[in-house]
Chains A and B, each alone.
Chain A
Amino acid sequence: MSSIVATRRTRADEGEDRGTLLRRRYPGRLAVRLVLLAIAIIYALFPVVWIISVSINPANTNVVRQLVPPNATLQWYEMLLNSTQYPFLTWLFNSVKLSVITMVLSLAVATFGAFALSRFRFTGRRLTLLTVFLVQVFPSSLLVIGIFNILLQLGIYVDPVAINTHGGAILAYLGGALGINTWLLKGFFDTIPRELDEAAQIDGATHWIYFWRILLPLVRPILAVVAILIFISTYNDYVIALTLLRSTSQQTLSVGLNLFISDTGTEWGVFAAGALMGALPIVVLYLLMQDYIVGGLTSGAVKG
């Protein structure tokens, strides 16, 4: 898919010149396109504008009468960042902690697997590839009954992976480590010529040194892309966190934020402020990486 990205760049460059020409020649066509685009952008951004408006509304409500509410305030932001009443920072920290640990471990596991599948020829290789491809189609929402009960049983003897621990949640996230990401990485490992293997072998490098010193530095960019994809999908997880993490201090942003909007309390201002702060890093990551994410998407790398 790197070729798709490359094609788009060159076409876009040429396109700008032709675009200017076209715009001058067909103003009517341009006007229609711009109107349609404006409608689309209003549709796409309306909830974003709404949430900003709600987050600065001192009334703590989801009633929006004006875009900038009277007596606009940053009090909900201050409250979330300073007050101990709302464990927003704890949730944010938990989300980032779980996502980073899962990212590192999952990347390691996937990279080891991809190395073996790309660099060795052995009996069972084809079966492994097929299994990895087929097994990962079961989403975590479907496995959660099994996962919950496994951790319930393991947790009796091994405290760090019990229910309501971050260890348990990470173990659950790691179940999919040898999944589509391994396929993605293997594809990139395959592009590195095997002559390099021979050269390394002649120089007496062990497999580990070859893997760590030679191969990994060559695929560093794709490692970063896969790492960020894992980070985002862990950060966005809802069902595992909802099921496994029971106490407020253990919860992540995805479960915690929604406690503000429950049957008992509807603190829309607080929710909106927290949601904006929680979503911002992910949105920025997405926009920075959009070209790569397109590549990852077309090979199905993002599950959620």
Chain B
Amino acid sequence: MTQSPTPPERENRRGLFSGSVPMTLLRLGALALIDAFAIWLIANLFNDGFHPLAITLAIITLAINIIFLNERLYPFQWLSPGLALLVLMVVFPVLITIYYAFTNYRTGNLLTKPQAITQILRRPENRVLAEGSQTYGYTAYRNEAGEFLLLLEGRETGELLVAPQNETEHPLTPELAGLAGVTFSDDGETVEAIEGYELVPADEIAAAFEGVETLEYGPPIGTVLVGPVDPEAEDGEGYAYDPAANLFVDFTGRRPAFYTAQVFRSGEGFALWLTEDGGNDTILLRPDGPAVVNGIPQSIYDYVIMSARERTASSSALVEAAFGNPEDPIQIDPFSANRAARFQSVLRYEPETDSLVNQFTGVIYRPVQGTFRLVPESVPPDLETPPPEELRPGYYVTVGLENFTRLFRDQSIWGPFFTVFLWTIFHAAAVVFITFALGMGMALLINDEIVPMRKFFRSILLIPYAIPAFISVVVWRGILDPNLGVINNVLGGLLGIAPNWYGDAMAARAAILLIQLWLGFPYMMLIITGALQSIPADIYEAATVDGANAFQRFRSITLPLVLVTVGPLLIASFAFNFNNFTVIQLFNRGGPAIPGSSVPTGYTDILITYTYRQAFGTAGGTDYAFASTISILIFLIVAAITIFNFRFTRGWEEISENV
């Protein structure tokens, strides 16, 4: 125990208001900025129904303010970034997972109540054109994340607007349109000049492209090959430009399209103004802007124009999306797919009665377990088409112990789950045991002074541990391939057997253990080597004098002393392998599947991969609630292991020693 030489009160007094006036102002300003941002964020989260996260952020912000305004809490200023991250990204995830286990947070009920109401009101089938709304023609774009953007053209005004999904719309600037600095001829059919570029005369084009092999333009054009093109060939790919013939060919369509180019040059490269031979299409390509086809930019920000086929494929997603200002969005007309406008809903939410009411028919919907359901008495008898029984999407609410009863009562879940549970424990225990055994052997071998170049050999034996598991597990998958792999090749030749390492439950489990042994023994070798070297040599000498043979010396001295030293690490290793997601997931995704299971489960699944699959792994949807239910069980087991480890090992000593 170290005694503090200075009285803590004096040392710790160094708060916000100590130091020079400008410094204090600077710090106060920074704190005010953080607060302003936090309040804005918390208000938004609260408004949309994310209450737990809003409350957590409020607590963190409040704590930071108290810490920085109270001089006595000065040491916590140093700890505050770490503690804030710990609360937000570790403590809160644990708590929210526990909360989800008592809700119906799964596909169909993934929203909060305010979100669900907003979406129901905007559903295509509930839409009528808002009074006095401007209507727009539109071009649709999509980015890699799958978000949409519309380029809108006002039907009456002709104004051009860029409206990303859920972000405020703004006018199309010449830069975004790809037309910055472009001067068209009076009839608008040819480009006369581009600012910063010089026009290359027709007879100098061939010379200008000397040594140029490709040109790069924005999506979806991409690379244009430069070189001789055979206009008769129908089998080209992508885009090509032949400077000698001044011929640009587009091979992407059903048959090639030919263009004549007007070439501009700048330090950045070549800009091409292309007019279709015998047609009306024009393309403007420039290295510093999007490709423009017939006046339409082919990409805006990171969004790329959607082809007709893509538009058809995502038509329902497009119709459901809201564009521009989220408070007053522009949407695609569900009944007239080539126009967009502002809509209003036929439904209205009435907070007093907590119900959704159809303003035209008077039909009422009330929430039942997170879904608005029809109140049959409210349907007027003269209504021609019966109204839908419920309104989608739903939102999540607490459902008590439903998920737990489902787990324990439903035999098609409980049976496979119990298999997974037993394998999880067996797997973790077996991995610790076999890696310890082999690691011990290797450590004894590598510590024997008779072995030459021990340091070098130790490095070699360390390699399996050094290779990232996300690589080595897949390598083992390749080696163990039942049909093509080298292991079965050898086994077939020697013994005439070919275990199905992928498809047979027992073989797959054996394969997992084999891989785990390879991955884990170097770690054990390392820590056992450390332990071996702390055993005093004279104990062995004394034992030898007493007539103990090598095995007895190992049994009675080495093993117990090593176990005492590495014991806590073995328990930590058990806890780690209990949740070893990477190995199980990458080897066989938990497979082969257990037949008759109503949630996807495999024979090599451990609890964590089983849980992960319920939350993220299936195509049919997600079930965070059920996954969280299993997570609680894992939390309890991991916590129990840790507390056990902590109580019966150095944990307490370390804590008390360090205070």
Chain A residues in the interface with B (C-beta under 8 A): 1, 4, 7-8, 11-12, 15, 18-19, 22-23, 26, 29-30, 33-34, 36-37, 40-41, 43-48, 50-51, 54, 61-65, 108-110, 112-113, 115-117, 120-122, 124-126, 128-139, 141-150, 153-154, 156-158, 164, 171-172, 174-179, 182, 186, 190, 194-195, 197-198, 201, 206-207, 235-236, 238-239, 242-243, 246-249, 253-254, 257-258, 261, 268, 271-272, 275, 278-279, 282-283, 285-287, 290, 293-294, 297-298, 300, 303-304
Contacts and interface: CB of A to CB of B under 8 A. Distances in A.
B97 A243 contact: no
The majority secondary structure among interface residues of chain B is: helix
The majority secondary structure among interface residues of chain A is: helix
Interface string B66-104: 000000011111110111011011111111110010000
Interface string B470-499: 111011111101001110010000000000
Contacts of B470: 236, 238, 253-254, 257-258
B353 to A, nearest CB: 28
Contacts of A133: 646, 651, 655
Nearest to A156: B48
Given A47-B475, A129-B659, A109 B2 contact: no
B560 to A, nearest CB: 18
Contact of A50 (B486, B530, B658): B486
Contacts of B475: 47, 50-51, 272, 275
B4 interface: yes
Contacts of A46: 479
Contact of B94 (A11, A15, A146, A258): A146
B148 to A, nearest CB: 15
B14 A279 contact: no
A254 B468 contact: yes
Given A112-B79, A279-B467, A298-B569, A44 B533 contact: no
Given A47-B518, A287-B466, A293-B526, 12 more contacts: A8-B533, A50-B479, A109-B85, A116-B75, A122-B75, A129-B655, A145-B631, A186-B658, A201-B11, A239-B582, A247-B145, A294-B526
Contacts of A15: 449, 454
Contacts of B450: 19, 22-23, 26, 29-30, 33
Interface in B132-186: 144-145
Nearest to B586: A258
Interface string B36-47: 000001001100
B82 A238 contact: no
Contacts of A65: 489
A64 B472 contact: no
B53 interface: yes
A8 B530 CA distance: 8
Interface stretch (B267-275, B411-419, B456-464): B456-464
A62 B479 CA distance: 7
A194 B572 CA distance: 33
Contacts of A120: 8, 11-12, 74-75, 78
A23 B76 CA distance: 59
Contacts of B458: 290
